Amino acid sequence: MAEEKVSTGVQGLDEMLNGGVPRGHIVALIGSCGTGKTTLGLQYLMAGVKSGEPGIFISLEEDQEAISKNAAAYGWDVAPHIQSGALAVFKLDPSDAKAALAKIKNELPTEIQKRGAKRLVLDSISLLNMLFESESECRAQLFSLCQTIKKAGATAIFTAEARPDQPSVSRDGLVEYVADGVIVLSYVDLKEKGEVMLAIRVMKMRRTAHSRKIKPYSMGAKGIDVLAGATIY
């Protein structure tokens, strides 16, 4: 039986993923500041809304107004979808990690069921993780959160900050191990050309074949565009 796939909303990335993300997966989207993690998350949700799949955006950084403005910069008017219930935006306080996580785990299954949500973005898991007292507690809570989302039936993206010294690894190095897939957004310094290029790579994606090549991408007026036909190296 063929694996059901969910489009990311980025054609070139879907091609790298052999059709998209397997439904029900939790995907870690790792990248440094400015690489477009939030943009890709919004693009993923907007693609879902357009195809009849309601979505939920959980932010620990920006409120609904800021997120709406970010989306508008790429021509995405989220207001009608929020009003219709096809898209929900929730802002949580990252200063109390346990309370924020408890709120997600207790209320999210009901929200997903009530809205018929098929897609979810959590932006950013790094803010939540850094407030736990120990690595073991963080790992256990991450695993529990993933199980909660999977049981509720959503396909999710967790954005995560990259380590400055290792741009293909998340800041805490944990989300990669609990996620079904890992996609990395990074900068490539093309010294011979005197410029910096944005690059995307699929590090892992369970239950599907995928490209392992590093591809260039751009952030333009309509969001992220992956040049699947090109290769950096």
Per-residue HEC secondary structure of 67-96 comes to: HHHHHHCCCCCCHHHHHHCCEEEEECCCCC
What is the set of domains in the chain, with CATH numbers?
23-183 (3.40.50.300)
155 Cβ neighbours under 8 A, 6+ residues apart: 6, 21, 22, 23, 24, 25, 27, 118, 119, 120
Note whether 126 and 170 are within 8 A (CB): yes
Q: What pLDDT score does 9 carry?
A: 98
Which residues on neighbouring strands pair with residue 162, listed in sequence order? 170
Q: Is 218 helix (H, G, I), strand (E, B) or coil?
A: strand
Q: Could you read off the pLDDT tens digit of each residue along the chain, which spans 233 residues?
A: 678 999 999 999 999 999 999 999 999 999 999 999 999 999 999 999 999 999 999 998 899 999 999 999 999 999 999 999 999 999 988 777 677 778 888 889 999 999 999 999 999 898 877 777 788 888 888 999 999 999 999 999 999 999 999 999 999 889 999 999 999 999 998 877 778 899 999 999 999 999 999 999 999 999 999 998 887 76
State residue 97's pLDDT score: 66
Answer positive or negative: Cα dihedral of 47, 52, 53, 58: positive
pLDDT at 74: 96
The residue whose two tokens read 């620990």 is 60
> Within a 13 Å sphere around the CA of 124, how many CA atoms are in the beta-carbon half?
23
CA gap 172, 175 in Å, rounded = 8
Distances in Å between the alpha carbon of 29 and those of 3, 4, 6, 80, 227?
A: 21, 20, 15, 27, 18
Residues 6+ apart with CB under 8 A from 58: 90, 92, 104, 108, 120, 121, 122, 123
Peptide bond into 124 cis (omega under 30): yes
**HSE-up of 220 (CA within 13 Å, CB side)?**
7
Report the predicted TM-score, pTM, of the whole model to 2 decimal places: 0.95
